[in-house]
Amino acid sequence: MRKVVTYPNDVLTTPTQAVTHITQDTIELLDDMYDIMLEEDGIGLAANQLGESVKIAIVELDDESGLIEMINPVILEEFGKEIDVEGCLSFPDVYGTVERAETIKFWYVNREGVSTFDEASGYLARAIQHEIEHLNGGLFTDKIIERLTPEELEAYMEDKEYD
């Protein structure tokens, strides 16, 4: 059974390898990632967070966005800037504000091997940028503008009506 790798670990700071063939292992990894993301109450997960150094990430912000499974994702264009709070399953109890593009155009291959162009804004765009950053060996903690205490986080979430 795979589990979430927490910082510090080299697999989190090493750029992942592109997927050249979608195999049964790829599908099993995607399914595992989804189960673990739900179990851990996350909204996104990158394969290297499970110790697998391959370019695969998933995001499921809410029912409206649905599950986005991305193989070899790339951000093509960025528009605007926005600062909001992020956390990460690899950094339990670390929360802070990070600046990201407000809207992105991005590309990926889905589990059927279909090349997909898409656009996202707001917190969905943020989650996708956070996960693609993981695949490139980056960490949101290097971008934190202001770290939040648990009390500040709670107040912030109530304000934003996130849960």
Residues with catalytic annotation?
131
User: In angstroms, what is the minimal distance from the CB of 58 to Co ion?
Assistant: 12
Nearer Cβ to Co ion (19/88): 88
Dist CA 60 CA 77 (whole Å): 21
User: In angstroms, what is the minimal distance from the CB of 49 to Co ion?
Assistant: 6
Name the residues that contact Co ion, by CB under 5 A: 88
The DSSP secondary structure of 103-160, one letter per residue, reads EEEEEEE-TT--EEEEEEEHHHHHHHHHHHHHHTT--GGGG-SEE--HHHHHHHHHHH
Q: Angle at CA 91, nearest 5°, toward 120 and 32?
A: 65
Nearer Cβ to Co ion (21/38): 38
User: In angstroms, what is the minimal distance from the CB of 88 to Co ion?
Assistant: 3
User: In angstroms, what is the minimal distance from the CB of 42 to Co ion?
Assistant: 8
Nearer Cβ to Co ion (22/91): 91
Compute how many other C-beta atoms are within 10 angstroms of the C-beta atom of residue 64.
Answer: 6
Nearer Cβ to Co ion (56/88): 88
Dist CA 112 CA 110 (whole Å): 5
Nearest residue to Co ion on Cβ basis: 88
